[in-house]
Structure 1
């Protein structure tokens, strides 16, 4: 088994400035993290922040996790990927995904449609753009002709990963992508999805050694164990209860259906503390690495031991403050 690298999933919630996020990236570089990933939700856009990070770092990889395939056209995503690859001197990796209907229809006014098909077509078009080809594409969602990068294409095109939670979306990532981004998974659940990804690789006749599976694990490693575990519980409850159905379904699929329903019901009724309390220690430990430093290191190691995993990304509770993020970053840096 190849060496599993450790990445950092940058927090965007309630960070005071772009400078603070960039400083987290320079700290990650100093601590030896392989790559920093930036999500894009309803705050700062990922492109501007990643360009800033690219300018302020020298070695650490950068990437999007996840840029959605609805609010930007695939040609524009291709332009953006080429530009960030240039700005970072070849350190960029593009993570794509469909997000969910609440966000895409409610926030961006775009029909959610068939997310798997749209993701696949987006990857196809982006690859043409990054190859410097004149784009010709006749798909279900995109009928395109004539676009071509004005500048030369990247000497080394950035890899394109896909996000996915269910079996079919993970299979798609293996069949058409250079990698897969996993989250909201227990080690056992992750092993099942790795099999889906590798089935997709076989279907696409892709060498698995050329692909990368990255799993994001919610982490909070503090000397104040109870504080760390409360922050991780609150984060898990927020996603299961307040961010649509995908996270609830992912938890249910892994044997925690009653817990997922309880969280969603309590969160939806406005009783957020009761939703947090629905997450017992076993559930928290199944999905997170939260508590004293040693137990967090041991929990992360359980994900790293899974065959097929190439990178484990340390992510943070949304309510963690700067000092707690810095402490966890240092404690969980790869040896």
Structure 2
């Protein structure tokens, strides 16, 4: 049975307590894991610590923590601590993010993201084992580090996010799971083939790896407003968050729409970018509607062979009431 996760909103939240309340509501509604991204605003580590302290059963995880903004050893220490604080409920999600975020916001060169992600995963797993870290890689050369506390028990899983074939193959080869985003059902199946190929290359046990799909959702009594919020969100990512999301959509057979959305958004024509995202394509990528109609749309994404969980995510412009409405409408039955 496909698990149902919760992707906590990173934007438009008035306080850490609001995010904690959201996670508590998710726990009450039966969601399996509460994921928190780290982009701008509040950092994921402090916030997840608060959530872990105020919940009892729901899993907690980062989706994603960028591999450029912290050293691999520090990420390992952080995962160790969050596993302790959550009493074994933590799962670490990592990813390179993109040059817009890494270079413009963090001032770090966005070089060789696949290699950096691989080496970070390998070093983090070594840290989590409690053994001395001796590592000679292309990017990192480490020696002498070892946890000065007991290693986490159980050891938290380490997932990676990625959109291109090589990034997803890397996830299958070196990570314990893959976080998928902004994919149609057909596009997801193509990338699952890449993940499975990586699993074979890494001689991994596929049954122990977890693939989760983040799905933008908005459920309101006003279906048109829900659709507008979802459309604005998808257009923003394709058009305004660098070229990775544009290329990801083009790779799935929607090159003309992807380029038009991107070009119009870059030219400041946000209305035109949103208009370039047809209802048909939007329905392939996201879920919206009234409580009566949205669940049917959501169920189209569950039960996909090879996907362990689908995360209910929210439009960036949705307010707290709209987020809570969506959570309740799509909660596990």
TM-score, scaled to structure 1 = 0.98
What's the counterpart of residue 277 of structure 1?
275
Match in the other structure for 2:31: 33
For residue 217 of structure 1, what is the aligned residue in structure 2?
A: 215
CA apart distance, 1:256: 1.2
Matched, 1:299 2:297: yes
C-alpha distance in structure 1 between counterparts of 2:47 and 2:211, whole Å: 24
Q: Secondary structure at the match of 2:40?
A: coil
Partner of 1:310: 308
Shift in Å, 1:108: 1.2
Between the aligned partners of 1:83 and 1:309, the Cα distance in structure 2 is: 28
- Aligned length in residues: 333
The correspondence of residues 50-129 of structure 1 with structure 2, limited to 5 A, is 50-129=48-127
Q: CA deviation at 1:295?
A: 2.9
Q: TM-score when scaled to structure 2?
A: 0.99
Unaligned 5+ segments in structure 2 are: none
Moved more, 158-167 or 271-280: 271-280
1:160-175 to 2 correspondences below 5 Å: 160-175=158-173
Q: Matched residue of 2:81: which SS? A: helix
Distance 1:307 1:190 in 2: 10
| Aligned residue runs from structure 1 range 144-183, under 5 A | 144-183=142-181
2:259 paired residue number: 261
SS of the residue aligned with 1:36?
strand
Q: For the residues of structure 2 that align with 1:104 and 1:318, how far apart are their CA atoms?
A: 20
- Paired residue for 1:232? 230
Gaps in structure 1 of 5+ consecutive residues:
none
Superposed displacement of residue 294, structure 1: 3.3
Q: Secondary structure at the match of 2:97?
A: coil
Distance 1:273 1:90 in 2: 45
By how many angstroms is 1:292 displaced? 2.0
Secondary structure of 2:166 counterpart: helix
Q: Does the 8 A contact of 1:289 with 1:295 survive in 2? A: no
- Give the aligned CA root-mean-square deviation in angstroms: 0.8
Match of 1:201? 199
Q: Deviation per CA, 1:110-146, whole angstroms, max 9, x where unpaired?
A: 1111111100100110011000011100000000000
How many angstroms apart in 2 are the aligned matches of 1:238 and 1:174? 29
Alpha-carbon offset, residue 299 of structure 1: 2.0
1:293 Cα deviation from its structure 2 partner:
2.3
What CA deviation, in whole Å up to 9, does each residue of 1:10-48 have, x standing for no partner?
Answer: 001010000001100000000000000000001100000
Q: For residues 287-334 of structure 1, what are the alpha-carbon distances to aligned partners after superposition, in whole Å with 9 as ceiling and x for unaligned?
A: 001112233212221211211010000000000111110010000001
The SS at the match of 2:13 is coil
